[in-house]
Amino acid sequence: MIRLPRRRWLGLLGLAALPSPARAHAILVESDPRHEAEVPAGERVLTFRFNSRIDRARSRLTLIGADRKQTVLALLPGPDDMLSTRAVLARGRATVRWQVLALDGHITRGDVPFTVVGG
Ligand SMILES: [Cu+2]
């Protein structure tokens, strides 16, 4: 049994309670397209960047078109705080629904709605 002064133990507990960015669940910090943007129709690379590393194998992007049809999008290789995909966008309202698993084990999800114009 290792004996430490009481204040040393308290110091260790304090360290354990500090929030660490590496253990935070993932929040979307930047996307292309941005929320409620207008984007031209056609083939486009879409990117979604998060505030922390994610488990890319257990994260996904789903495109929801104006007809409400849902398509799971194939992910492109990239850094482990980002999801990107190549999608063909048809004119009208669309939403990308992201769902990611952060390294702390928490799943977060959200929607980025936008409008596809032209084409
Ligand atoms: Cu979390």
Q: What is the CATH number of the domain that holds 113?
A: 2.60.40.1220
Ligand 1 center from residue 88 Cα (angstroms):
32
**Tokens 């799943």 sit on residue:** 107
Q: Give the model's pLDDT for residue 37.
A: 98
Ligand 1 center from residue 22 Cα (angstroms):
10
Domain assignment present for residue 12? The answer is no
Ligand 1 center from residue 2 Cα (angstroms):
33
Query: How many structural domains comprise the chain?
Result: 1
Ligand 1 center from residue 84 Cα (angstroms):
22
Ligand 1 center from residue 103 Cα (angstroms):
8
Ligand 1 center from residue 37 Cα (angstroms):
28
pLDDT band, very low/low/confident/very high, at 66 (cuts 50, 70, 90): confident
Q: What is the mean pLDDT of residues 3-22?
A: 50
Domain assignment present for residue 51? The answer is yes
Kindly tell me if the per-residue pLDDT of 15 is higher than 50. Answer: no
Domain assignment present for residue 41? The answer is yes
**Cα 21 versus chain centre, distance:** 15
H/E segment holding residue 10: helix 6-17
Domain that holds residue 54: 21-117
Q: What is the mean pLDDT of residues 90-108?
A: 96
Two tokens, residue 13: 């507990």
Ligand 1 center from residue 17 Cα (angstroms):
14
**Tokens 């850094």 sit on residue:** 79
Domain assignment present for residue 5? The answer is no
Residue 25 CA: distances (Å) to CA of 34, 44, 100, 101, 115: 21, 28, 9, 8, 29
Q: What is the mean pLDDT of residues 35-60?
A: 96
Q: How far apart are CA 35 and CA 113, in angstroms?
A: 6
Ligand 1 center from residue 23 Cα (angstroms):
7
Q: How far apart are CA 10 and CA 12, in angstroms?
A: 5
Q: Give the model's pLDDT for residue 28.
A: 98
Two tokens, residue 63: 């495109």
Q: How far apart are CA 9 and CA 81, in angstroms?
A: 35
Domain assignment present for residue 77? The answer is yes
